[in-house]
């Protein structure tokens, strides 16, 4: 029975094995743990965050909070091998595990450096130069960013059990807010191990980090006006949480990072066989196979000009044929399993729904050859490339959260931008082209539908960090279906978590606050 970490103590729920949820190994099907929040004092945990963790963090300056991020990063780095090993139980290869674990460490380090460089050695920030608000010079206006005396409740998705809590913690800690983390059930044991590493290292002040394993629903009614609910998961769950009556009644801040049907668009100027075309193929295949396609930013739609459709289908299929699937511990395995047998069923259903408007060009939802594992006990799936009618609904609506993508041919630029927009808002899209005019026209139409656009050309293709990688310097989050949220975006994201209060005052008062200004 997985424990929760509440009020700086490890607590076991009162549930029995029979009444708790079972979590199974994605590779072997063996039982890993039971998960439940039955009998946990959730109200006590939230009070502890507000009464103990919050005051301790608010008393620190931005630079002292940055030191906490460094301490956290060092603690996780020192024991990251344990997290890699455990990640294999969730179906992850070593590469996938590093993406999650080292990616989380990098966000912490990045934010610590940024905070020291861009924020003052003070607990709050006076933003920008003062504005003159009247004819004379004695009545000025600025914005003051102060930490909210509340907590961040993180409700996380299963696919990034280490990166997601660390990425949210980095911003919350800098903003002076304690966190209560609720990991998704299928990978809760990984977040639990992360929290053990952090607490055993004594990296954070009491009350700054707590973790609720199991259902967090009763805690939603206990959130208050100064709290933030930071959600990552499916659009369906986001919809439920967004309209939760307590959230609505108290105007509680809600950030949603939801699913999206992300696209890559090959422009007409890129000739099959060219280095840029090869880079496009590698990008599509990487996105399908890293973490077995279980990335919120993963490419689900591959849009190509009609004249290059066959070449794209052939090239991507050929590359997928070389991907070896199986036990992450076995030599040469490039793709592991999806997280659970239930997830495998979900992906199969989604892929079939899309293929109804087309056909499977590579892979079969019901068959897979695996290395050193039982394909039935483990949650293995073949990579699946679907060719579909671009004007059908399913490829733009259904998110197969696994190793599947759909190739669709567009007629002209307008058709391509219309198709991209049919995702109703996405986290990220890639455009592959050396044609500046085509790309600029496409960007203007596609940008409002996307949180991030990754524009790949012959000049940057060797340096790109890839379609799927959210970076601390840039905004992560997308409009519409993608949740309408925003995370990271450098220190702007930290300030957005704080209360921004307009101050109208005399220069004497503003000068007294000014030592907090980075200038
Ligand atoms: P999910 O089923 O929506 O669950 C997400 C989280 O919400 C889990 O912790 C879950 O807990 C919890 N939850 C579910 N129903 C709830 C309720 N009524 N009240 C409170 N909490 C509730 O998503 P998932 O299957 O874990 O993750 C996969 C999805 O996440 C994909 O669609 C993917 O695109 C999306 N995702 C988006 C991003 C992004 O940054 N935009 C990142 C990663 C993943 P339990 O597990 O205990 O039910």
- Residue 515's pLDDT is 64
Q: Are residues 205 and 68 in the same domain?
A: yes
Lookup result for tokens 């000025």: 140
493's tokens: 């994201």
Q: How far is the CA of 346 from the centre of ligand 1 (A)?
A: 14
Given a contact cutoff of 8 angstroms between Cβ atoms, the answer to whether 100 and 163 are in contact is yes
Instruction: State pLDDT tens for residues 301-314.
Output: 999 999 999 999 99
Judge whether 400 and 347 are in contact, CB under 8 Å. Answer: yes
Structural domain contains residue 465: yes
Q: Is there a domain that residue 19 lies in?
A: no
The pLDDT confidence band at residue 177, using thresholds 50, 70 and 90, is very high
- The string of pLDDT tens digits covering residues 222-274 is 999 999 999 999 999 999 999 999 999 999 999 999 989 999 999 999 999 99
Round to whole Å and give the CA distance between 91 and 388: 29
Q: Average model confidence (pLDDT) for the chain?
A: 96
Q: Are residues 451 and 507 in the same domain?
A: no
pLDDT band (50, 70, 90) for residue 514: confident
2 occurs within a structural domain: no
Report how many domains make up the chain: 2
Judge if 161 and 72 occupy the same domain: yes
Note whether 282 and 250 are same-domain residues.
Answer: no
Catalytic residue among 257, 309, 399, 487: 257
| Residue with CA closest to ligand 1 atom 23 | 233
Residue 479 domain-assigned (yes or no): no
* pLDDT(516) > 60: no
Judged against a pLDDT cut of 50, whether residue 519 lies above it is answered with no
The CATH code of the domain that includes 462 is 3.40.309.10
Q: Does residue 415 lie within any of the structural domains?
A: yes
Per-residue model confidence (pLDDT) at position 297: 97
Q: Is residue 64 part of a domain?
A: yes
DSSP at 367: B
The CATH number linked to 69 is 3.40.605.10
Shared domain for 361 and 451, answered yes or no, is yes
Q: Are 384 and 300 in contact (CB under 8 A)?
A: no
| pLDDT (mean) for 180-190 | 98
Given a cut of 70, is residue 518 above it in pLDDT? no
Based on the domain organization, do 220 and 364 belong to the same domain? no
Question: Does the active-site annotation cover 145?
Answer: no
* Helix H or strand E segment including 180: strand 179-182
Percent of the chain with pLDDT over 70: 99
| Rounded average pLDDT over 493-501 | 97
Q: Which ligand 1 atom minimizes the distance to the CA of 470?
A: 40
Q: What is the pLDDT of residue 181?
A: 98
* Ligand 1 contact via 234 beta carbon (within 6 Å): yes
318 in the same domain as 244: no
Torsion of CA 291, 293, 296, 300, to 10 degrees: 160
312, 181: one domain: no
pLDDT tens across 10-54, in order? 999 999 999 999 999 999 999 999 999 999 999 999 999 999 999
Q: Which atom of ligand 1 is nearest to the CA of 215?
A: 47
Mean pLDDT of 178-191: 98
Three-state secondary structure of 109-131: HHHHHHHHHHCCCCCCEEEEEEE
Q: Are residues 343 and 218 in the same domain?
A: no
Q: What is the DSSP letter of 467?
A: T
Domain identity same for 380 and 493: no
Stated pTM of the model: 0.95
Report yes or no on 8 lying in a domain: no
H-type alpha helices, 364-473: 394-397, 413-421, 436-446
* 26 within some domain: no
Label residue 128 by pLDDT band (50, 70, 90): confident
Q: Which of the following is catalytic: 145, 192, 283, 296?
A: 296
Say if residue 104 is in the same domain as residue 238. yes
Question: Are 343 and 455 in the same domain?
Answer: yes
Percent of the chain scoring above 90 in pLDDT: 97
Phi-psi category of residue 505: left, alpha or beta, with phi > 0 → left and psi -120 to 50 → alpha = beta
**pLDDT beyond 70 at 133:** yes
Q: Please give the residue range of the domain that contains residue 291.
A: 262-472
Confidence check: pLDDT of 517 > 70:
no
CA–centroid distance, 139 to ligand 1, in Å, is 48
**Band of residue 476 on the pLDDT scale cut at 50, 70, 90:** very high
């Amino acid at each position: 029975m997985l424990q929760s970490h509440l009020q700086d103590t490890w607590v076991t729920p009162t549930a029995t094995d029979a009444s708790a949820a079972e979590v199974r190994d994605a590779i072997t099907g063996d039982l890993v743990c039971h998960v439940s929040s039955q009998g946990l004092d959730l109200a006590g945990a939230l009070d502890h965050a507000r009464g103990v963790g919050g005051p301790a963090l608010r008393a620190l300056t931005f630079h002292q909070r940055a030191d906490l991020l460094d301490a956290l990063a060092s603690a996780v780095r020192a024991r990251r091998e344990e997290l890699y090993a455990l990640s294999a139980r969730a179906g992850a290869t070593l590469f996938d595990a590093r993406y999650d674990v080292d990616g989380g460490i990098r966000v912490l380090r990045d934010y610590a450096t940024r905070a020291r460089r861009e924020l003052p050695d003070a607990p709050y920030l006076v933003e920008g130069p003062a504005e003159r608000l009247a004819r004379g010079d004695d009545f000025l206006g600025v914005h003051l960013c102060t930490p909210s005396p509340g907590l961040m409740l993180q409700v996380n998705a299963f696919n990034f059990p280490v990166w997601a809590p660390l990425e949210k913690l980095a911003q919350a800690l800098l903003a002076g807010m304690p966190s209560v983390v609720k990991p998704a059930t299928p990978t809760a044991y990984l977040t639990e191990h992360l929290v053990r590493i952090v607490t055993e290292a004594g990296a954070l002040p009491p009350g700054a980090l707590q973790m609720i394993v199991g259902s967090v629903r009763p805690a939603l009614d206990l959130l208050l006006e100064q709290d933030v609910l930071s959600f990552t998961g499916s659009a369906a769950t986001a919809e439920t949480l967004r309209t939760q009556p307590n959230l609505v009644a108290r105007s509680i801040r809600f950030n949603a990072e939801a699913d999206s049907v992300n696209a890559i668009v090959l422009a007409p100027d890129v000739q099959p066989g060219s280095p840029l075309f090869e880079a496009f193929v590698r990008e599509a295949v990487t996105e399908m196979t890293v973490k077995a396609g279980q990335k919120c930013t993963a490419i689900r739609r591959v849009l190509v000009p009609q004249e290059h459709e066959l070449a794209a289908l052939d090239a991507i299929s050929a590359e997928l044929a070389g991907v070896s699937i199986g036990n992450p511990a076995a030599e040469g395995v490039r793709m592991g399993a999806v997280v659970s047998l239930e997830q495998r069923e979900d992906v199969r259903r989604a892929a079939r729904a899309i293929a109804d408007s087309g056909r499977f060009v590579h892979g079969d939802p019901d068959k897979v050859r695996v290395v050193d594992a039982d394909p039935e006990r483990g949650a293995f799936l073949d990579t699946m490339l679907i060719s579909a009618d671009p004007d059908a609904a399913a490829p733009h609506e259904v998110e197969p959260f696994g190793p599947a993508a759909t190739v669709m041919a567009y007629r002209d630029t307008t058709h391509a931008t219309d198709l991209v927009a049919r995702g109703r808002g996405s986290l990220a899209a890639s455009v592959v082209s050396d044609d500046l005019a085509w790309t600029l026209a496409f960007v203007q139409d596609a940008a409002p539908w996307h949180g991030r656009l990754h524009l790949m050309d012959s000049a940057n293709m060797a340096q790109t960090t890839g379609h799927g990688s959210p970076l601390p310097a840039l905004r992560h989050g997308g409009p519409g279906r993608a949740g309408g949220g925003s995370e990271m975006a450098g220190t702007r994201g930290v300030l957005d978590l704080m209360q921004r209060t307009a101050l109208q005052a005399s220069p004497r008062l503003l000068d007294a606050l000014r030592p907090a200004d980075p200038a």
